[in-house]
């Protein structure tokens, strides 16, 4: 017995791909099941879901995929949020509102943008960044929301203290940023904030 689901969109014949036992959503929102006699039922197409739709290459532009829900592999496509054009694109749509989530394969970052009523596409917004800052990095430059592994050797600029080893959690909203550093050696927690122009001093909790 099949168990595919079909949704009504105005046709009065049973789809050629439908089988006995398939579910059908009728015009009034109620459910029906295709019976053994295969009586014609109001149906539409098989229900859309976020399934893999294929690969987007250099000939594709992500700007053109707001109306096609699904999951896409991105390989050197145009319109990506960064120079890294390799990752996974998730497209969702509800009525006239569409959104895209892009997961960078190399940068370990997640990005988000929207389009509504066919209007201009919003700019990409960084949702999350994960990775390691390495040795000798400047904490002032770790400004994107995300979790980072810190393995400094005393040369890290603007760290809470020399030789910082631990995890750094960053929250960024517009020009405002907060950083929380937790040492893996003694669980010492240090925090500071950026108000759009200057960083506060580190405060140990």
161 or 199, which is more confident: 199
Per-residue pLDDT of 190-203, as tens digits, reads: 999 999 999 999 99
What is the pTM (predicted TM-score) of this model?
0.54
- Contact between 115 and 121 under an 8 Å Cβ cutoff? The reply is yes
Instruction: Give pLDDT, residue 134.
Output: 53
Of 42-56, 85-99, 117-131, 164-178, least confident by mean pLDDT is 42-56
Eight-state DSSP code of residue 61: B
pLDDT at 185 over 60: yes
Calculate the average pLDDT of the chain. Answer: 77
Q: What percent of the chain is modeled with pLDDT above 70?
A: 68
Q: Are 23 and 46 in contact (CB under 8 A)?
A: no
- Structure confidence by residue, pLDDT tens digits, 82-123: 877 899 999 998 888 999 999 888 777 788 999 998 899 999
- Residue 79: closest CA among 59, 50, 95: 59
Contact status, residue 101 vs residue 111, Cβ threshold 8 Å: yes
Predicted pLDDT at 35: 60
Task: At 66, give phi and psi (nearest 5°).
Answer: -80, -25
Q: What's the CA gap between 189 and 205, in Å, rounded? A: 6
- The least confident of 8-12, 88-92, 110-114, 135-139 is 8-12
Evaluate if residue 161 carries a pLDDT over 70: yes
Task: Give Cβ neighbours of residue 37 (< 8 Å, ≥ 6 apart).
Answer: none
């Amino acid at each position: 017995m099949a168990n595919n689901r079909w949704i009504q969109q105005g046709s009065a014949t049973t789809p050629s791909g439908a089988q006995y036992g398939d579910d059908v959503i009728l015009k009034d929102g109620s459910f029906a099941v295709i019976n053994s006699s295969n009586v014609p039922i109001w149906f539409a197409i098989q229900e859309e879901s976020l399934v893999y739709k294929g690969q987007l290459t250099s000939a594709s532009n992500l700007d053109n995929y707001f109306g096609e829900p699904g999951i896409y592999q991105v390989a050197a496509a145009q319109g990506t949020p960064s120079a890294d054009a390799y990752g996974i694109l998730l497209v969702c749509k509800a009525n006239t509102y569409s959104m895209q989530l892009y997961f960078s394969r190399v940068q370990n970052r997640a990005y988000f943008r929207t389009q509504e009523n066919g209007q201009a596409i919003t700019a990409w917004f960084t949702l999350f960044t994960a990775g390691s800052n390495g040795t000798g990095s400047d904490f002032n430059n770790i400004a994107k929301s995300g979790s980072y592994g810190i393995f400094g050797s005393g040369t890290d600029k603007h760290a809470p203290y020399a030789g910082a080893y631990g995890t750094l959690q960053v929250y960024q909203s517009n020009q405002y940023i907060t950083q929380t550093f937790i040492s893996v050696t003694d669980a010492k927690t240090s925090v500071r904030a950026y108000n759009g122009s200057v960083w506060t001093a580190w405060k140990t909790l």
